[in-house]
Amino acid sequence: MKAMNFYVLRGGYCDDDKEFELYIDEVPDVEDAPQCPTCGGTVGMIPYADPVVGVLQAGRKCYDLTKQLGGDVMLSERCRETFEREGLSGMNCFQRVKIRRVKGPMRARGCGEYLLARVSFGAKVDRVRSVLRTSTGVQCPDCGYAGIIEGYDRVAVDVDSWSGQDFFKLHGLPGPIMVSERAKQVCDRYGLSICKLIPAEEYGNSYYPKFGS
């Protein structure tokens, strides 16, 4: 079986070391955040009011695709149209973004139109290959929650559980936004700029490093 390549979409500081981030003015209490029906853990973010209003921090470039602090994806209108035309899947709940002002040398008009989108769960994390460390080994059978995530060496997807979505989150490791090889190829072909895209095998994190390690 051919090995499948996946990537992790990052935001904040991009490949040019400049910040690209939408700082949202307010997150109203529209409704309770979605919860897992089995363990009661939070499995998503509270929705924003529409349109989403905020200040865009931008360096010398406005990117077509980036991850937001809360785990949403921000994408340009051009990017959304391209993904729709190419049949890329995994994003939903698109909301218009109203850029109140831009901090940095860019101007709001020069950055064009943007949207925020939610990303669905589309696979399970491979705990063993990821070297995923959590505070408990007991997993929720539905959402994969196993306590506080202490760290992981890489992000490995349980390919047998993958739904085939091009953008997706992982049960058991909900932080990273995963991107398929097909989606990367579409971005490359159409010249869509991505804030930062890291091969999943190279993406690790240690939230609670051990003393002396």
- pLDDT band for 31, please (50, 70, 90 cuts): low
| Beta carbons of 27 and 73 less than 8 angstroms apart | no
For residue 158, being part of any structural domain is answered with yes
DSSP strand pairing (114-119 vs 91-103): antiparallel
Contacts of 20 (CB under 8 A, 6+ apart): 11, 12, 13, 14, 56, 57, 58, 59, 61, 62, 63, 66, 195
For residue 164, being part of any structural domain is answered with yes
For residue 213, being part of any structural domain is answered with no
The tokens describing 28, both together, are 């109203």
Rounded mean pLDDT, 177-194: 96
Q: Return the pLDDT at 211.
A: 36
- pLDDT band for 33, please (50, 70, 90 cuts): confident
Question: What are 39-81's pLDDT values in tens digits?
Answer: 877 777 777 888 999 999 988 788 999 999 878 999 999 999 9
For residue 99, being part of any structural domain is answered with yes
Rounded mean pLDDT, 119-148: 88
For 33, the 3-state DSSP assignment is coil
**Structural domain that includes position 193:** 6-25+33-206
For residue 1, being part of any structural domain is answered with no
- pLDDT band for 1, please (50, 70, 90 cuts): very low
Question: What are 3-14's pLDDT values in tens digits?
Answer: 689 999 998 888
| H-helix segments, 26-89 | 77-86
- Chain length of the chain: 213
Q: Return the pLDDT at 142.
A: 82
Q: Return the pLDDT at 154.
A: 95
Q: Return the pLDDT at 150.
A: 86
Q: Is the pTM of this model over 0.85?
A: yes
Question: What are 165-184's pLDDT values in tens digits?
Answer: 999 999 999 889 999 999 99
Q: Is the pLDDT of residue 145 over 60?
A: yes
Q: Is the pLDDT of residue 29 over 60?
A: no
For residue 174, being part of any structural domain is answered with yes
For residue 116, being part of any structural domain is answered with yes
- pLDDT band for 22, please (50, 70, 90 cuts): very high
For 206, the 3-state DSSP assignment is strand
Q: Which residues are 149's β-sheet partners?
A: 134
Number of domains forming the structure of the chain: 1
For residue 211, being part of any structural domain is answered with no
